Chain A
Amino acid sequence: MREKLQQIKEEALLKLKECQNSQMLDELRVKYLGKKGELTTILRGMGQLSPEERPIVGKIANEVREEIEAAIEETLKGIKQREKNLRLSMETIDVTMPGRANKIGGLHPLTKALDEIKEIFIGMGFSIAEGPEVELDYYNFEALNIPKNHPARDEQDTFYINQNVVLRTQTSPVQIRVMENKKPPIRIIAPGRVYRSDTADATHSPIFHQVEGLVVDKGITMASLKGTLDAFAKRMFGEKTRTKFRPHHFPFTEPSAEVDVSCFVCGGTGCRVCKGSGWIEILGCGMVHPDVLRAGGIDPEVYSGFAFGLGLERIVMIKYGIDDIRLFYENDVRFLKQF
């Protein structure tokens, strides 16, 4: 019997070595360890053994069973591993094929630039104000120190609805409307559309966007104007940006200035964009004229303020090298998708 057990064990281990898949393995398990399996059959014949032999043979039989069971486990592990590897290799895909996702659209380049500007000023404590585009002559001109027959009215070719109503030529009327409705401290920007009766061509558009800024409080100085706009320029165009304030004239500010930033294309060494000068003009600004403060119901003896205005299209055109302003309003998706 001992020899028989030994024989079964060797045979089983041999067969397990040759076993290739889980089905064969199941068959082998039944064959050796099942209820009608070879080992069970032998153990049933234990009754015929002497009482002395029985425990010895029993022990051997158990050892054989354990050994076979362990071998089956071992084999099973190997088979599973092999089968998994096989599945993985069959499941290989071409990962360079395009992905699937919901289509995402995009914002207009002018909106994107405006969002950037808004974010910078919101970070400096500015709120966003709005005003009507169809505006009273009073707010667009008179209250801004531009009376009827002022030469500045000729410089800004104005669309009129009637004698008293115009399409605003600048975002500055929002200054007056804000001052009328809010007491200092005032810190706002007012982005929006403005209108000039220019026929559209590569550099002109009858509609374009400005961003107006207004700060009114006690102790506002020209130095704070410079500090604010310098900080804006650095955040908008990069920390290395330098600003240059040049005296200029606007009816609604005194003193007034135009602001150049060091060319954000060449960094100031001179290129085609800055026409070799290293500087790009980006905005006009100044200390709010006392007449304008008074028009807004604010006492210029107590308060002072500064204001600025920048043209959005111009900045975006320079930034992206767009050579035709009409592209902004044509809305060709091949253009819109680039931003």
Chain B
Amino acid sequence: MKVPFNWLLEYVDLDKDINEVAEKLTLTGSKVEEVIENGKEIDKVVTGKIIKTEKHPNADKLTVCQVDVKDEVIQIVTGADNIKEGDIIPVALHGSSLPGGVKIKKGKLRGVESNGMLCSEAELGLVDEDSVHGIMILDENTPIGVDIKEILGLNGGVIDFEITSNRADCFSVYGIARETAASFGCELKKVDVSFNENGENINDYLKVEVKTPLCRRYMAKMIKNIKVGPSPEWMQAKLQEAGVRPINNVVDITNYVMLELGQPMHAFDYENIEGKKIVVKMAGDEKFTTLDGIERQLDSSMITINDAQKTVAIAGVMGGQNSEVTEDTKTIVLECANFDGVTTRLTSKKLGLRTEASSRFEKDLDPNLVETALKRACHLFETLKVGEVVGGVIDCYEQKLEPHYVNVSPKWINNFLGTDIDTNDMVNMLQRLEMEVEAQDELIIKVPTFRQDVKIKEDVAEEIARLYGYDIIPTQKIVGEAVEAEITKEQKLIETVKRTMVSSGLYETLTYSFFSPKVFDKINLPSDDELRKVVTISNPLGEDFSVMRTTLIPSMLEVMQRNILRDNKEVGLFDIGKVYLNVGKELPDERYKLCIAIAGDVDFFNLKGIVENLVNVLSVDKAEFERESQNTIFHPGRCAKLLVRKRYAGVLGEVHPDVLENYDLETRVYIAEIDLATLFEASKTEKKYKLLPKYPAVLRDIALLVKDEVEVKKIEDIMLKQGKGIIEEIKLFDVYKGKQIPEGFKSVAYSIVYRVEDRTLTDEEINKVHNAIVKELEEKLEAKLR
């Protein structure tokens, strides 16, 4: 919210620079977004009167003006077409400066001397570039030869505040003035709400009926004999500095009061109120055209203002075209009311219409503010001679909001904050916030109705803390018993996985947790696959981000695609992230998966090597790899599953060419996806030392001729089975096809290491086992010794 500094100073006597005030208020809780010092850059711009205009002799579109700036008459050439003789305008003299570092110097325009420039509102930095056209025309009574900053009240600058939702009371100049006074400990001046009324009674003109408790208060006054016209310069200037466009004196007064006190108001043209009656009620299913000329669909969740026949306003949001104040308006009804915050917010959200009024009402205003605001408006109508205030007032206020009490002991506050603040100081701070305090053992605090956010003792502690100064509160270590950090087994193991992946040459990636349901087709997943059971977002950012992922593979493929298309050809990546499995409960099963992807000068066994390393580093119990030919994401002949204690723990393989095609990939990509919980369950973190061998090992080599399709794992299983505990290790050292090997066969060569712990093995023992191995290999696998 933009607060013009000079406006603020009308209510506090303060000899401080705008930046000092901004800094202080930030530290006491009114967050400053920006300090705007509009007038700062303006220099040597004065008011002047155009006393003569002539066509430029050499240019159709230029005008030569003689401008009276009091001490002299100067000649200025302008391109503007909205000026005439007698207009009072801002004149930038020779040697003057304008916002944005613009310097004005005398010179010649198409051969005619020009000694300055006539300024538009944009050139003075009052509005954005394109919003207003032409030179700024000032009120005809404006004195000439006066510094424009004085006329427009640009001396002070503007502070833009971020108002948090709990502080509706700060959404106004006066609210900020109250905070300023409390922060600096200076006096807050009263608002002038005095005015005179004529002898008539509003009740002879109007009846108001409130039919919904969501309108907590509805007050009305009437103003007669209105002369609609522009409001005075100073008011327009203040409104503009606060970011509100001046319209006419009637609307400007209501806006002025809203900005000053935070209470929105609305003016209806009395002529258009049928049946001398205003009814506040819930809307029906109806269409209604608002002031901005847009037809809007209303429903029964919204409050409307009606006359005897029709809807005239959407309560708290915007008035209607049908009762708008126009140039011809003579009599107005001034509405000042309080509407429920949530209702206003939902209405404005549904209509897509957030106004200055609705953004205040939605914070739940104080119903007791209504009266002050209405009186202030009457004061302005009278003093600005806009109209005559009709006597009497209408006030529908069923449940009057009274101040409430909060009790808290100063000792508790000091214990809670870790401070040692004197009770008298506390009382003083609270009084500065317009709270009445009775100090006994406890502070008994009467909280004004505009501070509904102060409800409990913690709220009071905050009020005291912020006025005391957060920066003065000491910094301490946490007292109490020492607590030791606990790191869970899973957290430790995840760190180990990350380290292992990094030392395998892989870079970590992070990918979105949601994807498109279309990715399942892209990765060739069967239509009945479990992974297609997703958790769906009901309001996604688009289909591409609409379901929670059940696998990391699609996102990983996308990352691979992005990298490979960008010529990062040798890629090795890993991702540790959650998948969200729809298990039919209210919340999904969130599980950590590890996804690895490699491409470039690598093959399946590079990938398998990484997984094997991981399994070893984690000491996973009973981990084995088995051929997997059913997983449609992968090449049917180049895919394995990882089993841990016979349970499925993951898959690894070369991505199926169809899937690669779907991702526009022309290089082979190898991917693994592993369920970390399954791996971690079988991770034996406790290790035991085993004696180093005392007796010598015996090495026997064996070379076999087997059919191509015989997997080496089958051979090894037989060796271990027949080994009867005397085999220490089996090493595959050669697989050979080609010369001397018949078509369809391969030669595999092993070193078998025989050893037992407690003695030297005899040849006899070894031969027996070795022969049994050979025999079973020959029988079961039709292997031949070479």
Contacts and interface: CB of A to CB of B under 8 A. Distances in A.
Interface range on chain B: under 10, 10 to 19, 20 to 34, or 35 or more? Answer: 35 or more
Given A226-B474, A227-B475, A105 B538 contact: no
Given A133-B578, A134-B590, A165-B587, A244 B471 contact: yes
Given A245-B471, A247-B29, A108 B508 contact: yes
B478 A152 contact: no
Contacts of A218: 480
Given A102-B505, A161-B535, A167-B537, A289 B487 contact: no
Contacts of A152: 165
A162 interface: yes
Given A215-B478, A226-B473, A289 B458 contact: yes
B349 interface: yes
B590 A337 contact: no
Contacts, number: 228
Contacts of A86: none
B2 to A, nearest CB: 19
A237 interface: no
B346 interface: yes
A220 B29 CA distance: 22
A160 B603 CA distance: 42
Contact of A122 (B465, B477, B485, B504): B485
B465 A222 contact: yes
B537 A221 contact: no
B418 A221 contact: yes
A95 to B, nearest CB: 24
A239 interface: no
A134 B483 CA distance: 30
Contact of B477 (A103, A187, A227, A330): A227
B342 interface: yes
A331 B562 contact: yes
Interface in B498-537: 498, 501-513, 535-537
B535 A134 contact: yes
Report whether over half of chain B's contact residues are helix, strand or loop; otherwise say mixed: loop
A125 interface: yes
B388 to A, nearest CB: 40
Interface in A269-295: 287, 289-290
Interface stretch (B128-136, B568-576, B752-760): B568-576
B166 interface: yes
Contacts of A7: none
A132 interface: yes
Nearest to B363: A151
B426 to A, nearest CB: 14
Interface in A79-131: 102-108, 110-111, 121-128
Contacts of A132: 587, 590
Interface stretch (B186-194, B539-547, B615-623, B634-642): B539-547
Contact of A135 (B504, B509, B587): B587
Contacts of A102: 503, 505
Contacts of A331: 507, 509-511, 559, 562-563, 573
A121 B573 CA distance: 29
B473 A222 contact: yes
Interface in A154-175: 154-155, 159-162, 164-165, 167
Contacts of A245: 470-471, 473
Contacts of A231: 477
Interface string B685-701: 00000000000000000
A125 B541 CA distance: 40
Interface in B721-760: none
Contact of B418 (A128, A206, A224, A230): A224
B538 A255 contact: no
B458 A333 contact: no
Interface range on chain A: under 10, 10 to 19, 20 to 34, or 35 or more? Answer: 35 or more
Interface string A241-267: 000111111000011111000000000
A159 B164 CA distance: 23
Nearest to A258: B31
Contacts of A334: 566, 568
B482 interface: yes
B169 to A, nearest CB: 13
A3 interface: no
A336 interface: yes
A223 B586 contact: no
Nearest to B572: A105
Interface in B143-180: 164-167
Interface string B349-393: 100000000000011000000000000000000000000000000
Given A151-B165, A162-B538, A249-B166, A333 B476 contact: no
Interface string B382-425: 00000000000000000000000000000000011111000000
Q: Which of B28, B465, B481, B510 has the most CB of A within 10 A?
A: B510
Nearest to B456: A290
A220 B580 contact: no
Interface in B447-461: 456, 458-459, 461
B345 interface: yes
Given A221-B417, A226-B475, A333-B568, A328 B482 contact: no
Given A135-B587, A207-B513, A107 B508 contact: yes
Contacts of A217: 478, 480-481
B476 A226 contact: yes
Contact of A223 (B418, B511, B590): B418
B508 A111 contact: yes
B481 A185 contact: yes
Interface in B5-62: 26-29, 31
B459 A107 contact: no
B491 interface: yes
B498 A107 contact: yes
24 contacts: A105-B501, A106-B508, A123-B485, A125-B483, A133-B578, A134-B548, A134-B588, A149-B342, A161-B538, A193-B578, A206-B512, A221-B418, A222-B465, A223-B474, A223-B476, A227-B474, A246-B29, A247-B462, A247-B466, A254-B459, A255-B462, A287-B416, A333-B563, A336-B507
Interface of B: 26-29, 31, 164-167, 341-342, 345-346, 349, 362-363, 415-419, 456, 458-459, 461-462, 465-466, 470-471, 473-488, 491, 498, 501-513, 535-541, 545, 548, 559, 562-563, 566, 568, 571-574, 578, 580, 586-588, 590
Closest 9 interchain pairs by CB? A223-B418, A221-B418, A247-B29, A103-B505, A255-B462, A249-B164, A331-B509, A245-B470, A227-B475
Given A105-B572, A106-B508, A249-B164, 5 more contacts: A105-B502, A125-B483, A127-B485, A206-B541, A227-B475
